[in-house]
A and B are shown apart, each in its own frame.
Chain A
Amino acid sequence: MTTAVRVPGVTDFDPATALAAAADGDQRAWNAIVMTYSGLVWSVARSFRLSTADAGDVVQGTWLRLVEHLHDIRDPDRLAGWLATTARRESLNLIRRAGRDVPVDDVDGLGGPAAVAAAAVDERLLRDESQRALWQAVSRLSHGCQRLLRVMFADPAPSYETVGAALDIPIGSIGPTRARCLAGLRSILTG
């Protein structure tokens, strides 16, 4: 499964071409990579409930890693997965350095910090009452579900393969977990 990537102003984005051009110093190609995947990388960092500053540090660290590996990304079609994996590791490193716990949420089989470090949205930016209700329902889900949904519904939506890389879970478990988390969300919303 591949990620359908659509970015305003960037047509026919091809990861292999963009990586090769960026490795040669093509700023436009690099900017296209950053624009295409920023939403994904940000969502991975924020799925760990990192503050804006910490999530920014993770995103910046992820770009620096990609810059140093521009020449040796083995499978450009899996660039999204590579970035998701890198962002997850950068997030876990940051959490570990800060001395915070990274316990595993056994209910979901998804790892995630239990202690909430930061709000996962800026509530002032919620558009209307239905979004506020949705956000309140999301915040009552397990941490594992919150992580899965945050990454899964990043913009643009990543492939299952990329979600698997972001959360370090088998691809086969994503569909059932997604269905269960959405069912839980729906029952909170209607309950």
Chain B
Amino acid sequence: MTMSIEVRDLELRYGNVTALDRLSFRLDGGKIHGLLGRNGSGKTSLLSVMAAFRRATSGDAWIDGQPVFENPDVASDICFIRGEGDTVVHDWPADRVKDALAFASTFRPAWDSDYATALVDRFRLPLKKRLGQLSRGQRSALGITLGLASRAPLTMFDESYLGMDAPSRYVFYDELLADFMAHPRTFVISTHLIEEVSSLFEEVVIIDEGQLVLHESAEELRARGAAVTGPTEQVARFAQGLTILGDKQLGPTRSVMVYGELDDGQIELARESGLELGPIALQDLFVHLTESRGRTS
């Protein structure tokens, strides 16, 4: 079961600060969406409104055509894991890992206990340990376990890797993809580790200063530029006049990230010059798009 999400003219203000500025977009169900933005761009605020953690100042978020805020028909279908997850940390004496799982199992209608147990094993989480005694990485792993095992039709993760080491983060990505294939649903993942996760994204939303910068399929986004690799001289000649986002030199070989879709003539020229064309790194595009926006604004 999957759910589509739509936000229309969404505005969220904290006093005089505008966190979301008339944001509108629609995310199809059954996909993994990446939500990217710089610090303070409004990602967490946006996800908080989409999960009914906050009421929008104006506009609303809609899940499968139903408003989200205070709607019991869709509330338990949405699982939003912020950072390390919101769980029973202050619920002494029932504040152990096993209590967090028990709490979620009571309120998550599609909760899969066997899968939760498997994730606990994969992340090596100590079931009897108090949440306050877990390391930050373990807390994050618990948040991920709560999010994935909820099997909520709309599951959102916001920086849910804090403190996790690289092997644990890769366990997260593997599990997310495997479980998405086995139980298709809608995921929204907000992250700063773009290169690590970008291969999972089918669609990407970039926001900045509370406004939509772009919403495209990851494929289209990557086609907005190219990585050009080859002998230094030829690469320099080819890249002349193009916008260069990144530049690496390894011995006689140079690799540049150019922004802008290449036309057939340029592709042919690259082939004749013995240059290799590859997809551009999403992270470089993200940096370019948000930096140039910052300069123009």
Q: Do A and B come from one complex?
A: no
Q: Which B residues form the contact surface with A (CB < 8 A)? A: none
